[in-house]
Amino acid sequence: MKKFLFFFICVIISLNNFAYADDIPALDDLEDYSFSEVSSFSSNEPITNSKNIVAIDRKTLNILYEKDAFKKVAMASTTKIMTCIIALEKCSKSDIVTISKNSASVTGSTLGLISNMKISMNDLLYGLMLRSGNDCAVAIAEYISGSVEEFSNLMNKKAQELNLSNTHFVTPHGLDNPEHYTTSYDLAILTDYALKNEQFRQIVSTKTTTISFNGYPKTISNTNELLGNVDGVYGVKTGFTFDAGRCLVTSCKRGNLDVIIVVLGADTKKIRTQDSSNLINFIFNNYKYVNISSSIDEAFSKYISFLNDNLYLEKTTTKPILKLEKLENYEFPFLNNSPIELNTKIYIIDKFTPNIMVNSKVGSLYLYNGNILICNVDIFIDNQLIKNDWKYYFKCILENLPNNF
């Protein structure tokens, strides 16, 4: 009996110290989940219990909801969003990968890769994103860069390109490491980028697929519990480690509203599911698009009238012709029942000189709803300012000579 008790205690201790990287079944997986649609919310914001959350509108990247969205935290297997997009950009899905002993021995959630087996990059990517295989992540990293360390350098370089200033990668799978972190906001921006890749979008929207595994068919299912259960959800990734908690990145589109919701640091799978579902219901029941083009044009037109009477010109008499940047989109999300109080702030350079080249940026227009920044639009000069020549200065001298000279 004592030996059994000692063995049982050792197993519990080892489980508590083991770092998973995804949704390996735990006690909370047995809980019942509710995916019911809610007609409306009486409160201004939905109820959420996870530690770090953000919801962004994909059309504008505006934040619709956030809770500690800029805090650096562990990200678990949501890491694999970056791993997958790099693989899609660096190699072909038809490439054949030979599995190393190192990748076959990785712990946590795995596809079950075997040393020396050959598998297509396509099947590795489905194993990576549906089954959340840590072994798939390492195999991809070694195939592309030769090692996990070198692949991590690629991940960090991509993070810099996307201006993910609060993100740093150490591994392609996301097992806990103090130097491996992100924020829910950075993760949302990364996800938006990845979803622009049609192959990525196809993978993460797949509920179940069959791959070729060591010469035999193997059916795998997506760990994303919202996919196929909540209207409009089309991806993207789950995650779990003891440091990160339960994590879920979700993309959902209904009508012309397309959002990404990132939930990190949930205590249980049920909480991350409910938080994500609550946010989806809240956003699609309470947000609408408003076209802000007329507000921008009107504010700019009034400012130009003011500016023409208050220009400071140096070494030129040519008046500048200013133009606004053309935005790709003029529709921005606003809460249905909240007052819309649009106002603008415009900043222009102090003086205009002939040194300013045509199409140079000379200022910016900022549009706010109350105190919340909606967007900013750059202002450019549309003509070349002519430098005053000797004739101008000679004329000035003549005009200023005394009448009795």
Task: Read off the pLDDT of residues 272-327 as tens digits, 9 standing for 90 and up.
Answer: 999 999 999 999 999 999 999 999 999 999 999 888 888 888 888 888 999 999 99
Distance between CA atoms of residues 291 and 289, nearest Å: 7
Q: How confident is the model at residue 37 (pLDDT cuts 50, 70, 90)?
A: very low
Residue 164: the pLDDT is: 98
Domain-terminating residue out of 260, 288, 316 = 288
Residue 12: the pLDDT is: 44
- Both tokens assigned to 70: 């800029």
pTM as predicted: 0.84
358 and 266 part of one domain = no
Domain-terminating residue out of 265, 288, 311 = 288
- Does the residue 405 lie in any domain? no
What domain range is 221 assigned to? 46-288
- Read off the pLDDT of each residue in 50-71 and give the average, rounded to a whole number: 96
Q: Which of 50, 67, 80, 270 is catalytic?
A: 80
* pLDDT of residue 360 exceeding 70: yes
Query: What CATH number is associated with residue 323?
Result: 2.60.410
Question: Across all residues in the chain, what is the average pLDDT?
Answer: 88
* pLDDT of residue 36 exceeding 50: no
Domain total in the chain: 2
Burial 128-149 (b: 16+ CB within 10 A, else e): bbbbbbbbbbbbbbbbbbeebe
Domain-terminating residue out of 233, 266, 288 = 288
208 and 296 part of one domain = no
DSSP β-ladder status, 63-67 and 52-57: antiparallel
* pLDDT of residue 14 exceeding 90: no
Q: How confident is the model at residue 9 (pLDDT cuts 50, 70, 90)?
A: very low
Given a contact cutoff of 8 angstroms between Cβ atoms, the answer to whether 241 and 176 are in contact is yes
Query: What CATH number is associated with residue 163?
Result: 3.40.710.10
197 and 155 part of one domain = yes
Check if 36 is active-site. Answer: no
* pLDDT of residue 41 exceeding 70: no
Q: How confident is the model at residue 46 (pLDDT cuts 50, 70, 90)?
A: confident
Residue 387: the pLDDT is: 87
Rg (C-alpha) for the chain, rounded Å, is 28
Identify the CA nearest to 20 among candidates 84, 94, 85, 74: 74
Residue 23: the pLDDT is: 56
- Does the residue 400 lie in any domain? no
Check if 387 is active-site. Answer: no
374 and 304 part of one domain = yes
Dihedral over alpha carbons 313, 316, 317, 322 (to 10 degrees): -60
Residue with tokens 């297509």: 120
Q: Which of 50, 103, 109, 132 is catalytic?
A: 132
Q: Which of 50, 67, 77, 158 is catalytic?
A: 77
Identify the CA nearest to 279 among candidates 255, 304, 257, 262: 262
| Per-residue model confidence as pLDDT tens digits over 329-344 | 999 999 988 888 999 9
78 and 192 part of one domain = yes
Check if 80 is active-site. Answer: yes
Q: Between the CA of residue 362 and those of 217, 262, 358, 378, 388, what are the distances in Å? A: 61, 37, 10, 8, 21
- Read off the pLDDT of each residue in 368-381 and give the average, rounded to a whole number: 92
Q: How confident is the model at residue 398 (pLDDT cuts 50, 70, 90)?
A: low
Q: How confident is the model at residue 21 (pLDDT cuts 50, 70, 90)?
A: low
Which residue(s) pair with 249 in the sheet? 237, 262
Residue 336: the pLDDT is: 87
Q: Is 292 exposed, middle or buried (0-12, 13-18, 19+ CB in 10 A)?
A: buried
